[in-house]
């Protein structure tokens, strides 16, 4: 589980099944002359349907199986036997998967709710048997039609995880430590940049009988992330839909960093990614308040930015309760 490749974008081919052919046949029975046409119709091809499934958490299965084809319809047979329709192919994808047609770049659908379905490739129609051509003046039809091919498409699937809260910050700001402090997740924490390489989601328990809310921790952002510097800003899509963004600032200014500057770089990168991202609710958390210098830096930060960050320490646990309550209030308001 731990080292499993995290796949959040795949390009795949989908194809509906081919319709079965209509049959050319005539009734043949002892003592019945000119029995008439009795070729059955072909069954329709199955369709390819994507379904949002809460038990699927990555697109890895499709990464290894990039061709998804539904079953063909069965050919019609004599004695007017209709061929069976091909079974639909239901492909389970994680909730939060956006499906785009490659040729047109059009979004075909966005599967966010568990159980939500989208038909992406129709199966082909079944062919018709020769009785369809029978008329008063045409009693022995030899015409019959073939099944139509199923629809084929190249589609791209993009997974955008759906968490109520998204943690963003510079590398080493303590995002993963905070996630570990407030939720059931145990993300890797280490004193170097880019410890977190893939998004991680944790659930914050808010009471014995309430469902709680989810928090996503993504890899750190650095200056020019929008140009691909560091791990780039592509992970921001996983917090794009969060009701609340939490900007985590290392208030101790470790490694000679300036918290105000960090905050400004973060805002700039978020705006570059999507201009309206910060127009939604965001809060600022001042982390590492247990370290020397943090109090002074916080005072300067307040003055320069006019913001009131929540002071916390992921290590000692100070302020974590307040932080959680604040998140819960925002999430509940947006629910």
* Positions that interact with ligand GTP (CB under 6 A): 169, 171-177, 189-191, 193-196, 219-220, 287-288, 290-291, 313-315
Q: Is 196 in the site for Mg ion (CB under 5 A)?
A: yes
The dihedral region occupied by 224, where left means phi > 0, alpha psi between -120 and 50, and beta the remainder, is left
Nearer to ligand GTP, 95 or 286 (CB): 286
Q: Which does 191 bind (CB under 5 to 8 A by kind): Mg ion, ligand GTP, none?
A: ligand GTP
What separation in angstroms does the CA of 64 have from each of 11, 12, 27, 152, 293?
Answer: 11, 10, 49, 19, 50
Nearer to Mg ion, 97 or 196 (CB): 196
Pick the piece of the chain touching Mg ion (CB under 5 A) from 20-28, 60-68, 187-195, 243-251: 187-195
Q: What is the number of other CB atoms lying within 10 angstroms of the CB of residue 267?
A: 16
Phi, psi of 330 (to 5 degrees): -65, -45
Nearer to ligand GTP, 17 or 220 (CB): 220
β pairing state of 117-121 and 48-52: antiparallel
Q: Is 287 in the site for Mg ion (CB under 5 A)?
A: no
Interface pattern 149-178 for Mg ion (x via CB under 5 A): ---------------------------x--
Residue corresponding to tokens 């921790």: 217
Residue 235: DSSP 8-state? G
Nearer to ligand GTP, 152 or 255 (CB): 255
Residue 26: DSSP 8-state? B
Q: Is 203 in the site for Mg ion (CB under 5 A)?
A: no
3-state secondary structure of 264: helix
| Three-state SS letters, 79-129 | CCECCCCCCCEEEEECCCEEEEECCCCCEEEEECCCCCEEEEECCCCCCCC
Please state the closest distance from residue 311 (CB atom) to ligand GTP, in A: 10
Pure H helices in 156-277: 175-182, 259-273
Q: By the 8 A CB rule, do 41 and 126 touch? A: yes
Please state the closest distance from residue 62 (CB atom) to ligand GTP, in A: 27
Please state the closest distance from residue 96 (CB atom) to ligand GTP, in A: 22
Nearer to ligand GTP, 99 or 178 (CB): 178
Q: Which does 291 bind (CB under 5 to 8 A by kind): Mg ion, ligand GTP, none?
A: ligand GTP
Please state the closest distance from residue 225 (CB atom) to ligand GTP, in A: 12
Nearer to ligand GTP, 93 or 225 (CB): 225
Q: Is 112 in the site for Mg ion (CB under 5 A)?
A: no
Binding site for Mg ion (CB under 5 A): 176, 195-196
């Amino acid at each position: 589980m731990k080292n499993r490749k995290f796949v959040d974008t795949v390009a795949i081919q989908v194809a509906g099944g081919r319709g079965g052919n209509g049959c050319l046949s005539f009734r043949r029975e002892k003592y019945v002359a000119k029995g008439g046409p009795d070729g059955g119709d072909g069954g329709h091809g199955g369709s390819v349907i994507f379904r949002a499934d809460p038990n699927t958490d990555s697109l890895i299965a499709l990464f290894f199986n990039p061709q998804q084809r539904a079953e063909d319809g069965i050919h019609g047979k004599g004695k007017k036997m209709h061929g069976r329709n091909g079974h639909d192919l239901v492909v389970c994808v994680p909730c939060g998967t956006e499906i785009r047609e490659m040729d047109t770049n059009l979004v075909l659908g966005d599967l966010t709710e568990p159980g939500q379905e989208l038909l992406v490739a129709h199966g082909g129609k079944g062919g018709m048997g020769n009785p369809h051509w029978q008329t008063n003046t045409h009693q022995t039809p030899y015409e019959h039609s073939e099944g139509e091919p199923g629809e084929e498409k190249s589609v791209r699937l993009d997974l955008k995880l759906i968490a109520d809260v998204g943690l963003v910050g510079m590398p080493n700001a303590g995002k993963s430590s905070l996630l570990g402090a407030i939720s059931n997740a145990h993300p890797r924490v280490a004193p170097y940049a880019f410890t977190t390489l893939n998004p991680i989601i944790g659930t914050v328990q808010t009471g014995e009988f309430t469902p709680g809310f989810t928090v996503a921790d993504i890899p750190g952002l650095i200056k020019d992330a929008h140009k691909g510097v560091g791990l780039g800003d592509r992970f921001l899509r996983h917090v794009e839909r969060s009701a609340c963004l939490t900007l985590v600032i290392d208030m101790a200014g470790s490694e000679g960093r300036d918290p105000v500057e960090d905050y400004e770089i973060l805002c700039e990168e978020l705006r570059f990614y999507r201009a309206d991202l910060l127009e939604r609710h965001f809060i600022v958390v001042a982390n590492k308040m247990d370290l020397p210098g943090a109090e002074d830096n916080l005072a300067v930060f307040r003055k320069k930015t006019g913001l009131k960050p929540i002071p916390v320490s992921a290590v000692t646990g100070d302020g974590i309760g307040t932080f959680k309550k604040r998140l819960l209030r925002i999430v509940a308001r947006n629910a």
